[in-house]
Structure 1
Amino acid sequence: MDLLRSLPIGLYLEQPITWLHRLDPRVKVAWLLSILLAPILANSACRVAIVAFLVLLTISARIPLRVWRQQMGWLLLLGALVTGLLLIMPDGIAVSQQPRLPTEQMIQAWPEPLAAPELLPEMPTATNYRYDLFDWQLTQLPPFSFSIQITQRSRRIAIKISTLLFTLLYSTTLFLLTTAPEEITEAFELLMRPLRVFKLPVTEIALTLTLALRFIPLVLEEVQNLVRSIRTRAIKWQKLGVRGAMQIWLMVAERLIQNLLLRAEQISSAMQVRGFTSPNTHRVVWHQMRLSWRDWLVLSGLGLFWWSRLAYGGVA
């Protein structure tokens, strides 16, 4: 399917089998939660280091370039656009600075009867710190005059938002890319077993998660079929106008919901025909969850990761 190949986010990579595929899914869940929680209250250097760690992790796993080029390429482009916009946008601190010493303009505008204050010489700054990193003003055309200003705060905000966006999207994408849906559900079921003390339906929640992950390709397939059906009809959108185009898209959305409900009904009918009554009585063990030496080694690396985060990550 063209849409699934052009939008591989959230899909499982069956071949080739990398070392990330061989890890226990519980270990990968622990690393995923750590990567998602580590940027909170971290400084800019720590957030950039996490982004670089994800890129190096992808390269070390030897994931084919055709697979992650589209994912990371679009995310890097989105991060660059967000960074550029936040750099030049106002930083939220509107402070009008008043010079403490008289300037030449103040001396010239001083009333004649009064004695003009003495213009003191400019003193060098104590440090090299500058709040305004870049300030470019265009004043040739007063009606269209504007300025581009980059400050310390706008730089911090740009790095914070762009790195958080990349980390949130790409870490989850990499996790789904190297972990089968059945492994994800079994890992969550094993991790949620202590919640059975509170009489929570852990097995039912795992089954629902499995069906939801299996339903994602069906949704993309239905969207692709509807898009192709619209393209084959060669609709003249310019002649329809905004109202006609909205009516067509509403019809397409209604048809999409009907098709998805039909697929869900077919899945439920197939489960009923096979005699499915409850997850506890029809439990199928897909994988044997056993921690190997590779998993313990990666878990030890998780401890090193949190030590470096607490020692050098700081607080933003």
Structure 2
Amino acid sequence: MDLLRSLPIGLYLEQPQTWLHKLDPRVKLVWLMSFLTTYIFANNLWRVLLVVVLILATLMARIPRRVWRQQMVWLLTLCFFVLVIISISPDGLGINYQPRLPTNQQVLTEKSAATPSTPALPTNNQKDYRYLLIDKGPVKVTRRSLDLAISVSTMVFTLIYTTNLYLLTTAPEEITAALESLMQPLRRFKLPVTEMTLTLTLSLRFIPLVLEEIQNLIRSVMTRAINWKKLGLKGAVKVWLLVAQRLLENLLLRAEQMASAMMVRGFTSPHEHRVQWHDLRLKTGDWVAIALLIVFWGVRLAIGTEV
């Protein structure tokens, strides 16, 4: 079991360097926020298009299959189960739907013949509209439940995969540099922008350490070949409480080591000990991404607005 490979959430892919890596982190952050906000008040066509765009962007970036295959398969499986469960669940309206036209077409024909002054309803060329799409015993799928299922499943995929793709192709230092650059106007309100970005940098750097500690502790438990049946529920709970206590101690030790390393290097405050990791400049590819972002929002306003 290797959590750092099977569950690389929040980890940065250093090699190979794709065109997503080379984009300015500020531009990628604006794209991220666009993906996370455009599905609000959008129709299902646009939400499905967001999923397709994310998958195509992953393939076009030529990110190694070993990196995204397992994540995408598990996430698509989760979204599929969400789609199925919400589809067969009650739609929340609590109505007993009845068709607009009588089921017996002979009654409609007789009424039309009895009143020749009233034009007959077009029964042959009319649209076949049904609110209840599937009615097989306890399984009932309505138009509203299906619409809600598509909406929720696509939103889950967009929220999780967009953020993961951003963290995969953007280094933690680039993220904090972009946030600090975009948050410069907040300095006028005397907000500690540099301290906030430094805290975010340390938090992002701490995620792999947490996964590594969890992985090492799980391996240590597995190598001891514990007979869980003999321990019972109470014994198993005691073992995992000891593991959790050990995990907390190791994480606090790692945090103390990071603090000591910063103090040894003479770090007193963010303003007196600044390290400029990246020189943020917009290049040709960034301007192309900005132009595509404008087109993206134009398409969203044209076809993605919910009626």
| Conserved 8 A contact 1:76-1:166 | yes
Kindly report which structure 2 residues correspond to 1:257-268, keeping only aligned pairs within 5 A, or say none: 257-268=248-259
CA contact (8 A) 2:132 2:143 kept: yes
Equivalent AA in structure 2 for residue 244 of structure 1: G
1:121-173 deviations in Å (ceiling 9; x for gaps): 15749531110111112xxxxxxxxx211110111111011000000000000
Distance 1:156 1:98, change over 3 A: closer
Deviation of 1:251 (Å):
1.6
1:230 maps onto 2:210 in alignment: no
Checking the alignment, whether the CA contact within 8 Å between 1:46 and 1:309 is kept in structure 2 is yes
Unaligned runs of 5+ in 2: 110-122
Question: How many Å separate the matches in 1 of 2:208 and 2:49?
Answer: 33
Q: What letter matches 2:67 in structure 1?
A: V
| CA distance 1:272–1:101, change in 2 (3 Å) | closer
Letter in 2 for 1:12: Y
Determine which of 202, 214, 222 is the counterpart of 2:205.
214
- RMSD across aligned C-alpha pairs, in angstroms? 2.0
Structure 2 counterpart of 1:286, one-letter code = W
Q: Runs of 5+ in structure 1 lacking a partner? A: 105-118, 138-146
Shift in Å, 1:281: 1.1
- After TM superposition, the score normalised by the length of structure 1 is 0.88
Task: Determine whether 1:292 maps to 2:283.
Answer: yes
Q: Structure 2 matches for 1:1-316, cutoff 5 A?
A: 2-97=2-97, 121-122=107-108, 124=123, 126-137=126-137, 147-315=138-306
Runs of 4+ in 1 over 4 A off after TM superposition: 97-104, 122-126
1:38 alignment partner AA: T
3-state SS of 2:140 partner: strand
Q: Which amino acid aligns with 1:238?
A: K
**Per-residue Cα deviation, 1:27-72 (whole angstroms, up to 9, x for no partner):** 0000000000000110010000010000111111111111110111
For the residue of structure 1 that corresponds to 2:136, the secondary structure is strand
Task: Give distance in 1, aligned partners of 2:36 and 2:297.
Answer: 12
In the alignment, the residues of structure 2 paired with residue 80 and residue 131 of structure 1 have an alpha-carbon distance, to the nearest angstrom, of: 22
Higher helix proportion, which one? 2
Counterpart CA distance in 1 for 2:102 and 2:278 is: 78
CA contact (8 A) 2:102 2:108 kept: no
Q: TM-score, normalised by structure 2?
A: 0.91
Structure 2 distance, partners of 1:230, 1:215, is 23
Helix, strand or coil at the partner of 1:314: coil
What is the CA–CA distance in structure 1 between the aligned matches of 2:222 and 2:131, rounded to whole Å?
53
Residues 268-290 of structure 1 show CA distances to partners (whole Å, capped at 9, x for unaligned) of: 11111111101111111111100
CA shift in 2, pair 1:185/1:100, >3 Å? closer
Task: Encode CA deviations 1:49-98: one digit per residue, 9 max, x unaligned.
Answer: 01000011111111111111011111111111111111111111221357
Query: d(CA) in 2 for partners of 1:9 and 1:102?
Result: 55
CA contact (8 A) 1:102 1:120 kept: no
Q: Distance in 2 between matches of 1:14 and 1:51?
A: 25
